[in-house]
Amino acid sequence: MSNSPKNAASYPGAHSLTEILSQPQCWQTNLDELRKKKTLQSIADRFAGTKEWLFIGCGSSFYVAQSAASTITRLTNLRARAVPASEILLYPDIVLADAKTFVPVLISRSGQTSEVVAAAEMLKARGISTLAITCASGQLLEALASETILLSGADEQSTVMTRSFSSMLLALQALAAVVANNSGFLDSLSAMSNAVTTTLGSLPTRIREFVARYEFDDYVYLGHGPFFGLACEGALKVTEMSVSYAQSFHTLEFRHGPKSIISPETLLVFLLSESGYQEECEALQEMKSLGATTLVVANRVDAAARGASDLVVELQLDVPEFARLTPYLFVGQLLGLYSGLKKGLDPDSPRNLSRVVLLDEDKSRNKPEHASI
């Protein structure tokens, strides 16, 4: 199987692979379009004076919310939280208890996800202005929201989210930079999008060969801070695309009980940060000493981390740490893809999944075959 399929419908997983490899160009196109239309500046102006941002999503979109909340807090020093849409629906008084001047950000690739749409309806009924981000135009979420970031070129043909996830996260990071009036960070996002193509070059082959060498019973993704949402998404990609059991933890929390599952058949994927590199590297060495198989994703590693890793993926990007979150997603996406193919599955169309979660009462007004989460 080549890394750049000529016929994207010719074999299982072809759509997913094409969409994964298309991400750097997709990111740059989105950033250029948002800048040209001044979409983000318009949103920042409308919500000027906001004290808090509340990011809301389901599934992968909730993991977008987690990393986006970390970014906006880092760049603006404003309070930001991420909650599942179901949480705000079932416990609105808890979620909104101390919220005053805040902006809810509703995240849905399809613009149709039942819980996200219901949250938008509830917030609108309370007279609260909202921001939506989606990859599908003309859907109910866009009609309900006060403002919308539309990334129509980022949607996928495959069921699972790959480039839509990274594109929505990158757009929200760009919004954070505009809110913070940080043009340097915006420039870093563009620089990263252009430079990461080199990093991606041989990565599909390396991950495919790594998957071919091992048999894993458990997959565990570990990350801290803005990387925790990415760890959750990595675990979900393996679960969705290969029907495998995968978990995610804050890296240092894995010591507190979960490490009991370690064996050579347990793959631990460490998303190493700069901020906590030393402590995370010590955890990596400890888990390797207990017999785990380890895969490390980092911008750069030292000899200690390299010695405790069965596979190292170095991004080697000369941009700030928060500007290179999205490239950390490549490994989880490719690991899920090739693990699924190894099991004889089609990662484009995982079993039991559809491109949107529609509750029964919503099915009559939507067409799920054209939707997504």
Q: At 312, is the secondary structure helix, strand, or coil?
A: strand
**What is the pLDDT, as a whole number, of residue 350?**
83
The one-letter code for the residue type at 257 is G
**What is the pLDDT, as a whole number, of residue 1?**
41
**What is the pLDDT, as a whole number, of residue 361?**
57
Bridge partners (DSSP) of residue 83 are 56
**What is the pLDDT, as a whole number, of residue 200?**
86
Domain ranges of the chain: 14-196+351-370, 202-342
Nearest to 69, CA basis, from 200, 195, 175: 175
**What is the pLDDT, as a whole number, of residue 2?**
44
Determine the angle formed by the axes of helices 14-21 and 203-213, rounding to 10 degrees. 140
Q: Is the pLDDT of residue 4 over 60?
A: no
pLDDT tens column, 143-159: 999 999 999 999 999 98
CATH number for domain 202-342, candidates 3.20.20.140, 3.40.50.10490, 1.10.3720.10, 3.40.50.2000: 3.40.50.10490
Which residue has tokens 């939280």? 81
- Based on the number of CB atoms within 10 Å of its own CB, is 77 exposed (0-12), middle (13-18) or buried (19 or more)? exposed
Nearest to 35, CA basis, from 176, 180, 171: 171
Section 103-110 average pLDDT: 97
55-69, 192-206, 207-221, 318-332: which range is least confident on average?
Answer: 192-206
Q: Is the pLDDT of residue 46 over 50?
A: yes
Cα–Cα distance for residue pair 122/94, rounded to 1 Å: 15
CATH H superfamily, domain 14-196+351-370: Glucose-6-phosphate isomerase like protein; domain 1 (3.40.50.10490)
8-22, 33-47, 316-330, 337-351: which range is least confident on average?
Answer: 8-22
139-148, 235-244, 353-362: which range is least confident on average?
Answer: 353-362
Both ends of the chain: CA-CA distance in Å?
29
pLDDT tens column, 291-328: 999 999 999 999 999 999 999 999 999 999 999 999 99
Q: Is the pLDDT of residue 280 over 70?
A: yes
Q: At 193, is the secondary structure helix, strand, or coil?
A: helix
260: CB partners within 8 A, 6+ apart: none
- Cα dihedral across residues 178, 182, 185, 191: positive or negative: positive
Domains 14-196+351-370 and 202-342 share a fold: yes
**What is the pLDDT, as a whole number, of residue 370?**
32
DSSP string for residues in 231-277: HHHHHHHHHHHH---EEEE-GGGGGTTGGGG-STTEEEEEE--STTH
308: CB partners within 8 A, 6+ apart: 281, 284, 285, 288, 294, 296
Sorting pLDDT into bands at 50, 70 and 90, what band is 261?
Answer: very high
146-150, 348-352, 354-358: which range is least confident on average?
Answer: 354-358
Using a CB cutoff of 8 Å and minimum separation of 24, what contacts does 252-256 make? Answer: 252/224, 252/279, 252/280, 252/283, 254/220, 254/222, 254/283, 254/287, 255/283, 255/286
Q: Is the pLDDT of residue 364 over 60?
A: no
9-13, 119-123, 188-192, 361-365: which range is least confident on average?
Answer: 361-365
